[in-house]
Structure 1
Amino acid sequence: MKNRLTNEDPFIRRTIPSSKLSDYRKNLDQIFKANFFTPNQTMPIDEDTKHRLDEIFTWALGTHAHSDKGILFFGDIGTGKTTLMKSAIDLLYEMHGDKVIFRGLSAPLLISAEKINEAFKRDDQALITQLKRTRALAIDDLGKEESEIMVYGTTIRPVQQIIAERYQSKRRVLVTTNCTSREIIELYGLHIADRLREMCFPWLITGESYRH
C-alpha cells in the first residue's frame, strides 16, 4: 500500500547513532513502567511485554515493516493498550524530539477521544488546530466518546473530522480502542474505518486485565 505519510514526517527513518540504540531500548522499559499508573502494582516486563516493546522500538526506529504507519491498539479493557501507546509516543519524542523542535514542528500529542469532543464543544481553536497539525496524534479510548455532539445548534462529529483531515494531510495517528472492527464501522461509518485501516496497522493486545 502506498505510504500515507509525507516526506516531511520527522518520525520516518531518522538516523540514530548505533551507540545509542541499546540505551534507547533500555529507556523504553523504564518509560513503559513509568506510564503504568495502577496503584500498588508494578508492571512486569514478561516475555509478552518484552516482545511488544521490541516491536514499538523497531517501529519508532523506522525499521519495522509498518514504520510508515501509525498503530491501532485494540483488545479487551485493562490489557495495557494505553500504556503501550503512551510509551510509543514518549519514545518517539525521546528519539526524535530535537528534530521536531529544530524543524519548527509540534511535539507528539496524546489525548482521549472524549477530550477531543470537549475541545470542539468549547470551540478551543488552538487545540483543534494542534489536533489537526501535530506530526503524531495519539487518540486514547476511541469509541468511548459521543459520536455526535451539538455545537451552536449544529451536529458535528469531532473525532471523525480529525481523522479525516489527518488522512488528507498524511499525518500520523495512533489509537487505542476497546471496539471491534464491526463496532468501529457502526460508530464512525465504513469511510472512516477504511481510513483508519490505511493509516494504522492493527495490533491486538491480549491477556488478562491488569485492573483486576
Structure 2
Amino acid sequence: MSECAKLVNSGMVTVRVKAASKLDKAMADARKAAIEKRELDICEVANYLYCGVRVIGGSETCLQFLEKNQEKYNIQVLKRLAVSAAFHTRQMESAVAKAFTNVEMQRAVCNVYSNYTGQVLPTKRSDIRGAVAKQVNSPVKWEQIQQVLFRKHQDEKFPRFYEVGPGRQLGAMLLQTSKKAHKSYTHFSC
C-alpha cells in the first residue's frame, strides 16, 4: 500500500451529507477536473462510517475541488484526514495481488464481518483470502455491518462491542448510530 501511495499525491476527507447534498455529482465533477489537468481521477467513497458520514479518498486535485465547492454541492462538513494516500480506493489496486500472497488463512472461530461485503466472511479459505484482499482497494462498510448487527439483534440485548487499539473510532460511530448499542461498548488501549 505504501508503494501505491507514492503513485499520486492523494489523501482522504471526512464528509457529512444530508438528503439535499449532491456528493455523487461533486465526486464526478472532481474527477472531470482532474482529467482536464491530465491527472489521475481518483475520487470515491473509501469508508461508509455511519448514516450521512463518509470518508472520500481522492487525488489532491479532486480533494481540493471538493473543498472549494463544498457549498455548491451542499456538503455540510468536509475535514481532511492526516493520511498519506487514498486508501480503500482504486489507487490501491496494485497492492491487492501482493497483499496476501504468502499469508496462510485459517477459518474463523466466530463470525467475522468483511469490510468489503458488509457480511460474514465465507468459510472457504480461498474465498476468505479473496474477500480480505479486496478490502485493500474497496470501501470499508462500517455502516452496513452495524445495520446487519442491529437488525439481527432488534429484540434482544445488544452483543458486546470491543475496540482494541489507540483510538476510539468504533465507539464514536456506535454513539452516533445507536446509543443503546454504545452501552455495550468497551475500549481497550494498547
The structure, 1 or 2, with the larger RCO (C-alpha pairs under 8 Å, 6+ apart) is: 1
Structure having the larger proportion of residues in helix: 1
Same-fold call, TM > 0.5? no
State the TM-score, normalized to the length of structure 1.
Answer: 0.32
Larger Rg: 1 or 2? 2
